[in-house]
Amino acid sequence: MRPAILTPLFASVSSLPGIGPKLVKLLTRLLGGAEPVGARVVDALFHLPANVLDRRRRPKLADAPIGELVMVEVVVERHRASGGKGPYRVYVHDDTGDLTLVFFAAQTSWIEHALPVGERRWLSGKIELFDGMRQMVHPDRIVDEEGLKSLPLVEPVYPLTEGLYPRQIQKAAQEALARTAELAEWQDPAWLKAQRWPGFREALAALHSPETPQVVAPDSAPRLRLAYDELLASQLALAMVRAHNKALPGLAVTGTGVISARIEAALPFKLTASQVTALADIRADMAAPIRMLRLLQGDVGSGKTVVALLAMATMVEGGRQAALMAPTEILARQHLATIQPLAEAAGLRVGLITGRDKARERTRMQAALKDGSIDIVVGTHALFQEDVEFRDLGLAIVDEQHRFGVHQRLALSRKNAGIDVLVMTATPIPRSLVLTYFGDMDSSQLREKPAGRKPVDTRLISLERLDEVVNGLGRLLQTGARAYWVCPLIAESETLDVAAAEDRYAHLVSLFGDKVGLLHGQMKGAAKDEVMARFVAGDLRVLVSTTVIEVGVNVPEATVMVVEHAERFGLAQLHQLRGRIGRGSDKSTCLLLYKGPLGEISRKRLEIMRETEDGFRIAEEDLKLRGEGDVLGTRQSGMPGFRVADLDSHRHLLAPANDDARLVLARDPELVSPRGVALRTLLYLFERDEAVRLLRSG
Ligand code: ADP
Ligand code: MG
């Protein structure tokens, strides 16, 4: 149970004074939060200022830096009301120069009242140059000498969303802080003292009312304190899961090798050296009486599925069942399609469980899993559900782990005591991040691509040349090519994304007719399957889609990938998308269509895509460019990542947090000491509380 002292923090922001439904909506858009609660008090609390408005700096107009927030003292000269739709302007000056204030769609009476002609006023806002003239659009404060005295000298500046005013988010943060109780210290006193960090509440108070600009910098003591708290919570949770897994006796399963040998003999290729090594690692883990918790990392197309199948075969040889779980329905079916013929030819009985099964079929499948007449089951998260029981599950393989959380991993491992877990991820993850997201899991890597794969020719093309691209596609289609056409995420709204894909679909249908299909997340499952099946069969030649095809889909005959608005995608996503092609024997082409002008980071990203296909290098570059969220694709998929810690600035705290967590658990595995109890609160605060349930006294 979450400690009662935290209850106010997990209430909706609507519980704060002055926050009505409209503001809740804006705050939820800014801070995230699932319906029906939306943004919570804790979300406002951890939404930290990115900058400050430093009112101690009060330059003369002539010296005021352009583009920065400043406070200037001016005399109001004259007003000019808008002619027609134009903005309302107010001309002001000091003894060094002039400034024009610009108001769009503003209430004139309010402006006249706030800026009386001939009077002195203090303004804060950003000065920009417009046709060589200084102007300030919508000053964020207009006060007289009296009003100035009541303004804070340094004011926090928060990341905002459209329609939300700085003062509203400031107020929300202050109210959230007021709801935050003084909490028992969970950091080690000696460590805290050596770091000279403030307490938790003190750190938040310092950040939300910064006295100097330095306070909000990533390396300030309050920031470091909170970043460490968050990293400690995550490392502790991972270490608890790990300790839990290790504490239970594992199964010691040695296969006979009979079934795996049959599968290997039936494969149309030889295993690569790294596939062989990975399998040896996995089989050694399974044979040892500990629980396997291993990460199988391999670039897109590196052949993880075969490794998974052979690992499952070994488990079945040892007399137990195995489960393979995919993040989406499409992928689960695809895995099944790959695995089933090989597995059944080798004598394995294979089943499927998804959220869309018909009731009769589902009942039959559940019975078969329970009585052991099925050896291997492939499925989606539906496998986690309580009513899915196994006769004797020995191995759970989770594909594309980053879309699941620790929570699901735990749910699955509860299906049987001591089961082995193999996590497969298609996004190569830099070493430092493996620790962050998976704790100290063992790891095997598939670094080489299977033989016979051709490099993909990647080109960057401006969207202005869309017509040429479409014509080129037409020519390729005549030679029998199959193509993916991916439409981007436009807004948070899936409906808008779907609309864009539908428009492009209609456009391409008008040119190429019924060879074109459409696939998106709002379609019914059966309709999706049908479109996919027609593309696999070659009946459809162009598959227009939103990013639902991002992960795992395998159609070796597809040789063209067009990504529209590629500048809006993260590197990891682009890499995943491109990995859909270059799988067969024909030459493949990836066209990244961008809309210029490109920002610095988007341009770099696209250039990296053109330069390399090495997933590990792409992952490292991605980390450099954008920080951790994108590397794992979590930002797009909306998984909770880190809210305070930023791995660019705080990576050096990861190792100490990891050591700290281990030491804590070595001394106080059940978290019952005073520090242990305080750490439980920390876990709840940063929502790593799945781990608490593992404790006997949890
Ligand atoms: P991943 O899941 O790692 O993205 P897959 O397991 O889907 O990759 O494999 C991609 C393709 O490569 C599949 O068509 C698979 O049959 C093939 N493949 C796997 N291993 C090998 C190998 N050792 N040699 C040649 N082809 C292979
Ligand atoms: Mg795969």
**For 32-50, what is each residue's pLDDT tens digit?**
877 778 899 999 999 999 8
Give the residue, by CA position, lying nearest to ligand 1 atom 24.
450
The number of the ligand 1 atom at minimal distance from the alpha carbon of 399 is 2
End-to-end CA, the chain: 8
Q: Report d(CA 286, CA 150) in Å as an integer.
A: 68
Ligand 1 center from residue 3 Cα (angstroms): 48
Residues 437, 570 contacting (CB under 8 angstroms): no
Name the burial class of residue 201, with classes exposed (0-12), middle (13-18) and buried (19+) by CB atoms within 10 angstroms of its CB: middle
Rounded CA-CA distance 14/605 in Å is 40
CB 402 within 8 A of CB 326: no
Alpha carbon of 426 to ligand 2 centroid (Å): 7
Q: For 670, phi and psi rounded to 5 degrees?
A: -100, 5
DSSP type of residue 482? E
Whether residue 272 contacts residue 301, with contact meaning beta carbons closer than 8 Å, is answered with no
How many whole angstroms separate alpha carbon 223 and alpha carbon 204?
Answer: 8
Rounded to 10 degrees, the C-alpha dihedral 354/356/361/362 comes to: 50
Distance (Å) from CA 61 to ligand 1 centroid = 65
- With beta carbons less than 8 A apart as the criterion, state whether 195 and 224 touch: yes
Q: How far is the CA of 303 from the centre of ligand 1 (A)?
A: 3
Write down the pLDDT at residue 549. 57
Q: How far is the CA of 201 from the centre of ligand 2 (A)?
A: 45
Task: Name which residue leads in pLDDT, 108 or 88.
Answer: 88
Torsion of CA 427, 431, 437, 438, to 10 degrees: 100
> Would you say residue 537 has pLDDT above 60?
yes
Best substitution site from 264, 554, 557 to test ligand 1's pocket, by max atoms within 8 Å of Cβ?
554
**Structure tokens of 209?**
């009312």
Nearest CA to ligand 1 atom 25: 450
Please tell me the residue having the least CA distance from ligand 1 atom 26: 450
Mean pLDDT of all residues belonging to the chain: 86
Q: Would you kindly state where each structural domain of the chain is located, as residue ranges? A: 4-52+157-217, 56-151, 225-247+650-697, 258-446, 456-612
Q: List % helix, strand, coil for the chain (3-state, nearest 5).
A: 45, 20, 35
Which of 100-104, 398-402, 591-595, 653-657 reaches the highest mean pLDDT?
591-595
Say if strands 442-446 and 293-298 run parallel, antiparallel, or are unpaired: parallel
Please state the atom number of ligand 1 nearest to the C-alpha of residue 552. 4
Q: In whole angstroms, give the CA distance from residue 520 to residue 547.
A: 8
Distance 298 CA to ligand 2 centre (A): 9
Q: Identify the H or E element spanning 167.
A: helix 166-178
DSSP state of 450: P
| CA-to-CA separations, 680 to 240, 325, 491, 676, in angstroms, rounded | 12, 31, 37, 6
Find out whether 139 and 76 touch, Cβ atoms under 8 Å.
Answer: no
12 DSSP 8-state letter: B
Q: Which of 49-53, 170-174, 661-665, 679-683 has the lowest mean pLDDT?
A: 49-53
Q: What is the mean pLDDT of residues 604-614?
A: 92
Tens digit of each residue's pLDDT (9 = 90 or more) over 458-509: 999 999 999 999 999 999 999 999 999 998 765 445 556 667 788 899 999 9
CA of 648 to the centre of ligand 2 (A): 29
Which residues, 6 or more positions from 609, have their beta carbon under 8 angstroms from its beta carbon? 458, 460, 566, 571, 574, 575, 578, 590, 592, 618
Instruction: Retrieve residue 546's tokens.
Output: 């939103």
Instruction: Determine the atom of ligand 1 nearest the C-alpha atom of 308.
Output: 6
Q: What is the mean pLDDT of residues 122-140?
A: 89
Q: Report the top-level CATH class of 456-612.
A: alpha beta
Q: Which of 336, 418, 327 is nearest to 376 (CA)?
A: 336
| DSSP state, residue 355 | T
Inter-CA distances, 315 with 245, 257, 263, 311, 344, Å = 18, 10, 14, 6, 15
Start-end of H helices in 267-328: 273-287, 304-317
Tokens of 20: 């009505």
Place of tokens 């062989």: 276
Name the CATH superfamily housing domain 56-151: Nucleic acid-binding proteins (2.40.50.140)
Residue 274: is its pLDDT beyond 70?
yes
Q: pLDDT-based confidence at 339, cuts 50/70/90?
A: very high
Q: Which residue has the higher pLDDT, 30 or 498?
A: 30
Better-predicted residue by pLDDT, 218 or 428: 218
Identical fold for domains 258-446 and 456-612, yes or no, is yes
* The pLDDT value given to residue 628: 46
Residue with the two structure tokens 């991002």: 550
Chosen CATH of 258-446 out of 3.30.70.20, 3.40.50.12780, 3.40.50.300, 3.30.1950.10: 3.40.50.300
Pick the range with the lowest mean pLDDT from 95-109, 140-154, 190-204, 485-499. 485-499
Residue 238: what pLDDT?
83
d(CA 370, CA 364) in angstroms, rounded, equals 10
How many A from CA of 442 to the centre of ligand 1?
A: 22
| Ligand index nearest the alpha carbon of residue 401 | 2
Provide the CB-side half-sphere exposure for 296 (13 A, CA).
32
Q: Which of 271, 274, 305, 557 to mutate to test the pocket of ligand 1 (most atoms within 8 A of CB)?
A: 305
Residue 303 CB neighbours (<10 A) = 20
Mode of pairing for the β-strands spanning 516-519 and 542-545: parallel
pLDDT at 490: 54
Distance CA 86, CA 106 (A): 11
C-alpha 269 – ligand 1 centre gap (Å) = 9
Residues with Cβ within 8 Å of 544's Cβ and at least 6 positions away in sequence, in order, are 485, 487, 501, 504, 505, 508, 516, 517, 518, 519
- Is the pLDDT at 582 greater than 90? The verdict is no
Q: How far apart are CA 323 and CA 565, in angstroms?
A: 38
Q: What is d(CA 593, CA 459) in angstroms, rounded to the nearest whole number?
A: 8
CA distance readout (Å), 126 to 140, 316, 453, 673: 9, 68, 54, 52
How far, in Å, CA of 54 to CA of 58, rounded? 9
Give the pocket of ligand 1 (CB within 6 Å).
Answer: 269, 271-272, 275, 298, 300-306, 426, 450-452, 554, 583
Ligand found nearest the CA of 298: 1
What letter does residue 159 receive in the DSSP assignment? -
**pLDDT (tens digit, 9 = 90+) per residue, 541-556?**
999 988 765 545 678 8
| Ligand 1 atom closest to 583 (CA) | 11
Q: If you average pLDDT over residues 330-352, what whole number do you get?
A: 93
The CA distance from 460 to 574, in Å, is 12
Torsions phi, psi of 517, nearest 5? Answer: -120, 165
Give the closest residue (by CA) to ligand 1 atom 22.
450
Q: Tokens for 513?
A: 């007719």
pLDDT value at residue 638: 29
**Chain Cα centroid distance, residue 573:** 11
Q: What is the pLDDT of residue 513?
A: 93
Which of 133-142, 313-322, 351-360, 648-657 is predicted least confidently?
648-657
Taking the C-alpha atoms of residue 380 and residue 373, their distance in angstroms, rounded to an integer, is 20
Nearest Cα to Cα of residue 139 among 152, 122, 124? 124
Which amino acid residue places its CA nearest to atom 1 of ligand 1? 301
Choice between 213 and 609, residue whose per-residue pLDDT is larger = 609
Distance (Å, whole) CA 425 – CA 434: 11
Site to substitute for ligand 1 among 267, 269, 536, 551, most atoms within 8 A of C-beta: 269
Question: Which of 267, 275, 306 to mutate to test ligand 1, by most ligand atoms within 8 A of the CB atom?
Answer: 306
Cα 519 to the chain's mean position, in Å?
A: 23
Q: Give the pLDDT confidence score for residue 509 in this predicted structure.
A: 95
Whether the per-residue pLDDT at 84 is higher than 80: the answer is: no
Q: Does residue 497 contact residue 299 with C-beta atoms inside 8 Å?
A: no
pLDDT at residue 452 tops 70? no
Which atom of ligand 1 lies closest to the CA of 305? 6
Residue 626: pLDDT band (50, 70, 90) is low
pTM exceeding the 0.85 threshold for the entire prediction: no
Q: What is the pLDDT of residue 632?
A: 44
How many alpha carbons lie under 13 Å from residue 625 in its C-beta half-sphere? 21
Residue having the nearest C-alpha atom to atom 20 of ligand 1: 303
User: What is the Cα–Cα distance from 473 to 561, expressed in whole angstroms?
Assistant: 10
> In whole angstroms, what is the distance from residue 678 CA to residue 674 CA?
6
Q: Side chain identity at 90, as an amino acid letter?
A: V
User: Taking 80 as the threshold, does the pLDDT of residue 563 lie above it?
Assistant: yes
Q: How confident is the model at residue 407 (pLDDT cuts 50, 70, 90)?
A: low
Within 126-195, where are the H helices?
Answer: 145-149, 166-178, 189-195
Confidence of residue 633 (pLDDT cuts 50, 70, 90): very low
